[in-house]
Every structure is written in structure tokens, then in C-alpha cells.
Structure 1
Amino acid sequence: MSPPQRSRILKTLIGTGAGNAVEWYDWAIYATFASFIASQLFSKQDTSSAFLATLAIFAVGFVARPLGGFIFGWIGDKVGRKASLTLCVGLASLGSLAIGLTPTYDSIGAGASVMLLIARLIQGLAHGGELPSAQTYLSEMAPPSRRGYWASLIYASGTVGILFGTLLGAVLSTAMPESTMAAYGWRIPFLLGAVFGLVALVMRARMEESELFESGTATHDAVVPGNPTPPHSSLFTDLARHWRQALQVIGLTVGLTVAYYVWGVSTPAYAINVLKIDATEALWAGVAANLVFIVALPLWGRLSDRIGRKPVLLISGIGSALTFFPATWFVQNSAMQLGLAMSAMLVFIAASASIMPAVYSELFPTAVRTIGVAIPYALCVAAFGGTAAYLQAGFSIWFGPGGPTVFGVYTIVLLLIGAATALSLRESRGIDLSTR
């Protein structure tokens, strides 16, 4: 490999991975420091209402994601993948900076809560555009024979961002008294997120545009002999023409997003609050399981480049469905069992997560590849991923002892929908994306 090629690859991987990690970090630290945000940016007269309002604003970020998917998907397909990626990370960093600098409720009253809401809306817009843009760009830049392997960078880098935010929270909470954390310590991760975002923005500004996008634009704008007007078509028309692929994106995503948010993100909190496992031990079990997840991702990606996307997707969907109840029953009240159960589930979840960016990109032609993924993906994550933790806890309240079983059946049904959708796909391993 020549030095220019090596430099190009490094810029692509580091720029995409660093920006994606920053976005996931920004998204996760809000939940990590929600209790401190509630005490500083909402009225202290009713602490329970303040905390619920903080969580409601967290949910607003999910609501904004479909709009972000549309805006940045349009930018990605009309202006360029690089432009969309750069704007996404810049906007996310602006939201993080705004949260870090928001005055307290005691200083400006309800204005503090409004500023927080606006900042989260900004981050929701950015995150709605980040994943589809990054997935499309990385898939188009990857060699066809290694697209599955390269695609695994998306979830790997994102999980690194989440883990870093979690560990930073643990370090700050240990090093600072609670009064200091409440006063200003909780702001540090958000201000760091703004700095990290600025670095990622510079990295992305130095990346090259996808050759597939540039060649596709040139072809799209070419003048046809006898017709001096370039054949521009409506983006909405192009998108509507691929409604089947949009439904396939939803089918592939519903089970993955719920399973990931449950086993990769919210299960430690569920174990702490419902199963009464020690908080510190449960959090470390979650960290260990996510490290297993990161290791598994590229292995599944490489396997899909050898045996195909469909077998790996089927292994993931069916394996996750079969493992769900045994893993749930295995946890009991032990942090060690929690870590093992999470690891087992995340190994199967990693099979889908690792290659989904490649699979999505292989479904759509270049002209609508970003927005074609962005809109159905964001809607699906908002509707299913955003409610996963709420339903997991809610079913236990509404159905009593049978709640976990009801939630398990719900998740398994969604996972099997994903497996059925995988069966409907044409095998796309190694295809030339320029022919789509």
C-alpha cells in the first residue's frame, strides 16, 4: 500500500471514528449526570418532578432525531457526505457547550430549563444525522471486499465514546465531593465534549469526499445528448421509489435497537433499581460486557465479508432471541452473572450491529443512500430504542412479576422480525456500490 493510500485510509477511519465517538459520548453523559442537571437547571421545590423533567428532555432528543435524519440526509445526498459529517459533529459540540455553560435555575429561573431543552434538541438533530451519514460515508470509502469489517467501526467507536463518558463520570464522582459535583463538576464532561467535538470537526474537515458521491453527482448532472437540461429528479421521488428498502431498514432495526439499548445501555441501571445489585459492581459489569462487545464487532464484520451478510444477520437475530430469556434468568442478584449475561447477549447483538451500516448502504443507490437510511432508521430508533428502557421498567410495574416475561416476548418478536427481514434480502457481500 502506497503512503498516500495509507494516509487516506487513516484520515477516513480516524475522522469517522473520532466524530462518531464524540457524538455517542455527548449523548450518553446526559443520562450519566441527569441527577445533577435536575438539581441545577430545574426548581428544587420538587426534586422528583425536576428529575422526571430532566428525563423528559432526554426523550426530546430522540424525538428530534428523525428531523435531523431528514436534514442531514438531504445534505449528505445533495451537498456531500463530508459536509454532512462535519456539520453533525459541529452541531453536537455546540449543544454540549450550551449545556456546560447554561446558568442555573437559581440564576435565571425557567430560562435554564428552556436553554437545556434547546441544547438537547440541537444534539438530537445532530445525532439523527450522524449515524446515517457516517454509515454511508464509511461504506462508500471501504474496499468492497472489506466493507463489513470497516462498518464495524461505527458501533465500536460509539461504544468507546459511551464507555469513556461512563468512566469519566465514575472518576469525577470519586475525586470530587457531592457538593462540588453538584456545583460545577457535572459541567466538566459537557465542556470536554465541546473540545473533543472541535478536534473531531477539524479531522473531518480534512477528510476526502466519497468518490462514489462525486462520480454519482457528475453522472447525475451530465447533459444528455439532445436534451440540454440536466435530468434533475426530486429527492422525494427518488426516496419514494425505494419504499421497500426503507421498510427493510425498519425491519432490520427494530429488534437490534431494542436489544442493544436494553443489554448494552440500560440493564445495569435495571439491575441496580429492580434486582438491587450493588451500583458500583453493576456498572463495572456493564463496562466489562461492553468491552466484549467492542472485541466481537470486527470479528463478525470480517466473517460477513467471507460468508455473507445474511448468515451473520440470521445468527444474530435468532441467537439473540434464543438467548434472551436464559440470559435474563441467569442474572438473578449477582454482578458477575450480570456481566456474563450481558456479554453473551452482546456477542450476538454485535453480529448485526457490526455489519448493519454496510447492509443499509448496500440497499440504496448513491443518489439517496444517506437519506434513504436516515429517515426510516431515525424513526425506528426514536419509536423503539427511545422507549426500550421505559418499557422494560414499565412492564414490571404494570404486570408485576410477569413484567420481565412480557418485555422479553416483546423483544424476541422484534428480533424475529429482524431475522425474517434478513431472509428477504439479496446477498450483498462485496457488491460494487456504484452499480446500485
Structure 2
Amino acid sequence: MAYSPAGTVARRQQKAQRKSLGASTAGQLLEWYEWSAYAVFAPFIAQVMFNPDNPVSALLSTLAVFAVGFLMRPLGGVVFGHIADRKGRKFVLITTMMTMAIASVAIGLLPTYETVGIWASLLLLLLRIVQGFAHGGESAAANSYVAEIAPRHRRGQWGSVVFIAIFGGSVMAYTVGGTITFNADESFVLEWGWRIPFWLGALLAVVALWMRMGMAESATFEEVLEEDITPEDVLEDAVQAADPEVVEAVRPKTQWKAILLIIAMVSGVTSAHYTWTSYVSTYAIVEQGMAANSAYWVTVAAQFVALCALPLWGRLSDRIGRKPVLYTFGFGMALLQFPLMGLISAQPWTLLVASMVALLIVGAAGALLSCVMSEVFPTAQRTRNIGLAYSISVAVFGGFAPYLNQLFNSLEMQWMSNLYVVLLCVVTLIAVRLLPETKAIDLNAVR
């Protein structure tokens, strides 16, 4: 067989891309683990970090802090997105990793409400704001980076790893939660047990940080940086791509339209996702009387099944297009939200079945978020636009989902929380209808 220098270079590039994909995914996995650990231990954090005299108010306050952390994500997405479009995706992914790890250690060291009173609650709020700021930048850079290093006709499958990291981090958090609550009594969990996940996440972040130091920068971004591409160049390249829908999508005057459509598209996905990952175990424990250990392990099983299906959804979108798969989510979740939530009782199998079905449906859209958002926005503005649109939608519609769910349940109006998810799924369907089909487009043309 003849020696092929071009073939050797191509293989080296593919190896470097896969290594970078692994490093990016490992970091995202740990960041989402640290983020999810708060939601997993919310019932315990509520008892030690807020006034325990009113348990309902304490739990609502805990979930409100969770929501406030999300409100900082748009700012973090814009700030870090701007930095990523100037200094590179890799720089931001390393910076946000360090920020999340430091805040995680600090949360694990916080004094309790019994010790310092309201200062415990305020310090927790401050650290969650820091985490939210960093998390907004992480999400924006990760969604751009993975899509940009992916092979053109496998972008859906590769892009699914971003949501795999989201589910994987949640699975890790619930696994740690189940292990701690199974092996320790409630008094230990309240005193020390809830702190362990945050310390563990910070230790593992050191390994992920080392992996990210060896990542290659996105070639798509480097090409734009070297050529000093202007918005006029972006439009000219899109015109040469000869796709009218893509040309219209990248025109400077329609970028705000694209941002609004992405906000709308993500709204149903994120509300359903946080309802069925961050809140449903709390609902089963607090409202239905399910044992915490059972609820945690059942949630792990359901999320693991959904996680395994994510690359299949991504690959399917590479074959049949993004829009049919997104429609599957919108119609499926709108039709099943009420019956699935109504199925949950004190019996663990009900939570398993309901969560598994719901998360499989959520995964259909979640797997596609990275590729769809990256295919809509040009490279020169991609990360900041994703940071703005994605973070706003997740903050407004996803971050408040657990709080609204608990609020409506405390008012004996559970149907309102279900209706909230259904209506946003309808909004997602409308946005998908208005967005162009972008399967396998050349990101170098839409740059």
C-alpha cells in the first residue's frame, strides 16, 4: 500500500478531534454534576441553609436560589461568549471549569443557618450566582466547540454529547445522592452528607482541567480568526453556499430573529428537562412520600436509559433532518406531560416508568440543541449568540421550572405546572416550523 501523507494528516486530525471531544465532554460532565448536585440535595439543603421553622418556605427558597443561579447564565453566556469569539473556545472552557470547581468547594464549606443565620442563605445565593455566571459561558462555548470540531455529516451525533454530559452529570449526582442516603442516616446527611458531592466534584474537576489543557482549538474558529472575517464576509459566504434559507438566516438584520427563534425552540425543551430531572425526585419525596433513596436510584436508572438513546437521536437527525426529530419531542411531550406526571405515586416503579418515557422524549430534542444552534449562527458571532439565546431560554423557562412546580403543588394546583410545560412545547413546535432545515450544512459557509 502506497504511503499517503494526506491520509496520515487526516488520521492525526481525526485523532486530535476525538481527544478534544473527550476532554470537552469530561469537563461538561463534571460541571453538570456540580450543578445538578444542588438540585439532588435540595430537600436537605433547605433544612440546613434556610429557616427550618417553615419547611415549605425553606424548600421554595432553596429552589428559588436554584432559579437565581440560572438568571446569571445569560450574562455569563454573553460575556464568555464574547471572549470565546475573540480568544477561542478552549480558553473559555478552561476558565469556566476552574470557576465552577472553586465555587463548588466553597459551597461544601458553608456554615449553616443555625450557625450564622441569614448569612448562610446569602452566601449560598452568592456562590450559586457565581456558578450560574460560569455555567452560562460553559454551555455557550461547549455547544459551539463540539459542533465545530464534528464531521459535517455526523454533527448531530457528535453534538449529542453535550446533552449526554448534561444527563451524565445528573446521573452522577443522583448516584452520589443514592449512595449517601443509603449508607447514612438523615442526621449525618444533614450535617455532612450533603457537602460531600460538592467536594467530590471539585476533586474530579482537577482531572478534567488537565484534560482540557490538551484540547485543540476549533479549526473553524481559527480560520475565521486568521482571516479576520467581517459580517459582510459572513453574508457573502452564505450567498455562495446557494441555500436561500441559510442565506436569510445569517443576514445581520435577521440575527435577532434567529436569536428569538432559538429562545422559543429551547423553551419547551428546557422546561421539560428540568421538570423531569431536577424536580421530579423532589416531587416524589415531598409530595408523594417516596423514600429519598428509592427516588434517587429510580431517577438514575431512568436518566441512564435516556442518556444511552441520545446519540441515536443525533444520528437519526443526521439521516432524516433536524426538524422531524424536534417535532417528535414537541408533540410527544405535549401529549404525555399530564398522564406521565399523574402516574407518579409513592411506588418507585411509577417514577421509573414516567421518568424514563419523559426523558426519552426530552432527549430527542436535547440531543440536537448543539448542532441546530451552531448551524443557525455564523462562526464570528456563534458563541455569543448561543450564549445569549440559550442562556436566556434556560434561565427563564428551565431554571424556574422546579420552583414553579413546587409552588403550584404547594397551592394544590399541579395541573398548572403541567400546563406550563405543555404550552412551552407548543411554542417549541412553532419555532421549529419557522426555523430552516440545516442538516449537514457547511459551517465554513455559514461563518
TM-score by length of structure 1 reads 0.88
In 2, the alpha carbon distance for the partners of 1:247 and 1:85 equals 25
In structure 2, do the counterparts of structure 1 residues 50 and 304 end up closer, same or farther at CA, with 3 Å as the change threshold?
A: closer
Equivalent pair of 1:308/1:427 in contact (CA under 8 Å): yes
Q: Deviations over 1:380-401 (max 9, x none)?
A: 1111111212222333444x4x
What is the CA–CA distance in structure 1 between the aligned matches of 2:120 and 2:343, rounded to whole Å? 44
Task: Provide closer, same or farther for how the CA distance between residues 279 and 37 of structure 1 changes in structure 2, counting only shifts above 3 A.
Answer: closer
The one of 28, 31, 51 equivalent to 2:39 is 31
Quote the Cα distance in structure 2 between the aligned partners of 1:254 and 1:354.
15
1:146 Cα deviation after fit: 0.2
Contact 2:20 2:214 in 1 (8 A): no
What SS does the corresponding residue of 2:439 show, helix, strand or coil? coil
Relative to structure 1, is the Cα distance of residues 404 and 176 closer, same or farther in structure 2, using a 3 angstrom cutoff?
closer
- 1:275 pairs with 2:323: no
Indicate the residue corresponding to 1:19 in structure 2. 27
CA distance in 1 between partners of 2:253 and 2:107 (Å): 38
* Secondary structure of 1:434's aligned partner: coil
Which residue identity is paired with 2:75?
L
Report what 1:133 is aligned to.
141
- Verify: 1:431 aligned to 2:444, yes or no: no
| Contact 2:40/2:278, CA 8 A, preserved across alignment | no
Query: Tell me, which stretches of 5 or more residues in structure 2 are unaligned?
Result: 1-6, 233-250
Structure 1 position 212 matched with structure 2 position 220: yes
**Is the CA contact 2:66–2:399 (under 8 Å) kept in the aligned structure 1?**
no
- Give 3-state SS (helix, strand or coil) of 2:289's partner: coil
Report SS of the residue matched to 2:25: helix
Higher mean C-alpha deviation, range 116-125 or range 3-12? 3-12
Asked if 1 retains the 8 angstrom alpha-carbon contact of 2:64 and 2:400, the reply is no
Where does the alignment leave 5 or more consecutive residues of structure 1 unmatched?
225-237
- C-alpha spacing 1:239/1:20, structure 2 compared with 1 (3 Å): farther
Partner of 1:380: 393
Deviations 1:346-397 (A, max 9, x none): 2221111001110000000001101101112111111111121222233344
Q: What is the alpha-carbon distance in structure 2 between the residues aligned to residue 76 and residue 340 of structure 1?
A: 41
Equivalenced residue count is 419
Match in the other structure for 1:154: 162
Q: Where do 1:93-132 residues align within 5 Å? A: 93-104=101-112, 111-132=119-140
User: Residues 289-304 of structure 1 correspond to what in structure 2 (within 5 A)?
Assistant: 289-304=302-317
Listed as ranges, the matches of 1:233-382 within 5 Å are 242-382=255-395
- The change in CA–CA distance for 1:71 and 1:318 in structure 2 (over 3 A counts) is same
**Contact 1:239 / 1:372 at 8 angstroms: preserved in 2?**
no
CA shift digits 1:181-205 (9 cap, x unpaired):
3333332221111112222122112
SS of 1:152's partner is helix
Alignment check: 8 A CA contact 1:76 1:84 kept: yes
Q: Higher RCO, 1 or 2 (CA under 8 Å, sep at least 6)?
A: 2
Most deviating of 7-16 and 361-370:
7-16
How far 1:175 sits from its partner (Å)?
A: 2.7
Equivalent residue, structure 2, for 1:232: none
**CA distance in structure 1 between the partners assigned to 2:157 and 2:353 by the alignment:** 25
Report the Cα offset of residue 139 of structure 1: 0.1
Distance 1:308 1:68, change over 3 A: same
RMSD: 2.5
Task: Give the one of 415, 421, 430 matched to 2:431.
Answer: 421
Equivalent-residue separation in structure 1 for 2:46 and 2:347 (angstroms): 30
Distance 2:333 2:229 in 1: 45
Q: CA deviation at 1:275?
A: 3.1
Query: What is the CA–CA distance in structure 1 between the aligned matches of 2:190 and 2:342, rounded to whole Å?
Result: 37
- Taking the aligned partners of 1:431 and 1:212, their CA distance within structure 2 comes to 13
Aligned-residue sequence identity (percent) comes to: 40
Going from structure 1 to structure 2, the CA distance change for 1:279 and 1:38 (only over 3 Å counts) comes to closer
Q: 1: CA distance between counterparts of 2:345 and 2:39?
A: 25
> Which of 408, 412, 415 matches 1:405?
415
Measured in 2, the distance between the counterparts of 1:112 and 1:312 equals 45
Q: State the alpha-carbon separation in 2 of the partners of residues 274 and 36 from structure 1.
A: 15
SS at match of 2:367: helix
- Give 1:109 deviation, angstroms: 5.7
Q: Which residue type is aligned with residue 244 of structure 1?
A: K
Amino acid at match of 1:412: V
1:181-220 alignment, distance < 5 Å: 181-220=189-228
Q: Deviations over 1:167-191 (max 9, x none)?
A: 1122223333444433333322211
Q: Is the 8 A contact 2:177 2:296 kept in 1?
A: no
